[in-house]
Structure 1
């Protein structure tokens, strides 16, 4: 029996050192090489941090581009989706309420033209990005509220559109926080 306990204890100690010490240090070291040094990419406006590039925020005022809805109210500590399927009656009521609200604030937009991401929450509930189409469908509202030319706002969306990763992976996207900061800086 003692011939088995000694090697088992040594193996356990080696695995604890590898998984609880070496592996976390390697991951932390790699993270330090990433943008933001492993602490996330901070977005600043007027000399102060206003958010992070990878975490969405709520923008619901008519003068701003609205964010994608969040099932967790943009709480990064509780990242999650709603866990309700597309046939769940509560989920369908929530989506319909979002559609109705969007149509009230964006008169002239047809229900069929609303991008799904503007009325459905992402899997994490923290999505910071919209498609360029979802941003551009809001241009008329913002142009009216801010008394700005719609063409200038469309140009602003185009300027803040990031293409797919390496030109092929994923869709084009617009970071809503960065876009709204640029919107506030327009004169």
Structure 2
């Protein structure tokens, strides 16, 4: 019986070492050499301080900043662990709302969001301003939603609207031929523009 167990135990130990230690360490080491930024979370720093990730959205509520699309992520309720509470851009719980087009809750939320943004039949609101992404962590918005926010941001900052719109254009990239604007990168550039102009 030992003759049958010995090869099985040897192979199990060997493959455990290969797939459980050697392979993960090799992949991690290679990633650190070749793709240091993405391997470490695509972190974004400003003056030596990490301010976010280019891959995970975050909440911006001030009128002085561009805002991302709504997020449907949740977190455990601190008062009752059997329930959840809204926690936008919670990277530990990536998820969409799972509400379909026939959901009254979704319809009501979108209507409220459209009204809050000042949307009207003659002034349609960009779709990503009122709809969540499948992950709830989308760091990007469409250029149309960024342009929608330009007047508000420019007024709050005391900057010319055309200068802010030019900043949006400069930070518009293409992903799979779809134009996108990274909200964090745009807001950091906005702070730099405001500092350069002497405005707060």
| TM-score w.r.t. length of structure 1 | 0.82
Residue 46 of structure 2 corresponds to 45
Q: Would the alpha carbon gap of residues 76 and 139 (structure 1) be closer, same or farther in structure 2, given more than 3 Å must change?
A: same
Paired with 2:142 and 2:188, the residues of 1 have a C-alpha distance of: 17
Q: Specify the alignment match of 1:81 in structure 2.
A: 96
Moved more, 93-102 or 53-62: 93-102
Q: Deviations over 1:95-144 (max 9, x none)?
A: 222222222xxx7x657632211111111111111121211111122222
Do 1:75 and 1:126's aligned partners in 2 also have CA atoms closer than 8 Å? yes
Q: Which has the higher strand share?
A: 2
Aligned to 2:178, what secondary structure does the other structure show? Answer: coil
SS at match of 1:163: strand
Q: Which secondary structure does the structure 1 equivalent of 2:136 belong to? A: coil
Q: TM-score, normalised by structure 2?
A: 0.77
RMSD: 2.4
Q: Secondary structure at the match of 1:148?
A: coil
Match of 2:163 among 141, 152, 155: 152
For the Cα contact (< 8 Å) 1:131–1:174, is it kept in 2? yes
* Preserved contact between residue 81 and residue 123 of structure 1 (Cα < 8 Å): yes
The residue matched to 1:183 in structure 2 has which SS? helix
Determine the C-alpha separation between the residues in 1 that align with 2:177 and 2:152.
28
C-alpha spacing 1:83/1:37, structure 2 compared with 1 (3 Å): closer
Selected match of 1:126 from 118, 121, 137: 137
Q: When the two structures are aligned, how many residues end up with a matched partner?
A: 179
- Cα 1:159–1:39 shift into 2, 3 Å: same
Unaligned runs of 5+ in 2: 74-87
- Separation (CA, whole Å) in 2 of partners of 1:41 and 1:19: 26
CA 1:13/1:93 → structure 2, altered by over 3 Å: closer, same or farther? farther
The 3-state SS of whatever aligns with 2:70 is: coil
Q: CA deviation at 1:152?
A: 0.9
Compute the displacement of 1:170 (Å): 4.3
The aligned counterpart of 1:141 is 152
Write the distance in 2 (CA, Å) between the matches of 1:28 and 1:178: 27
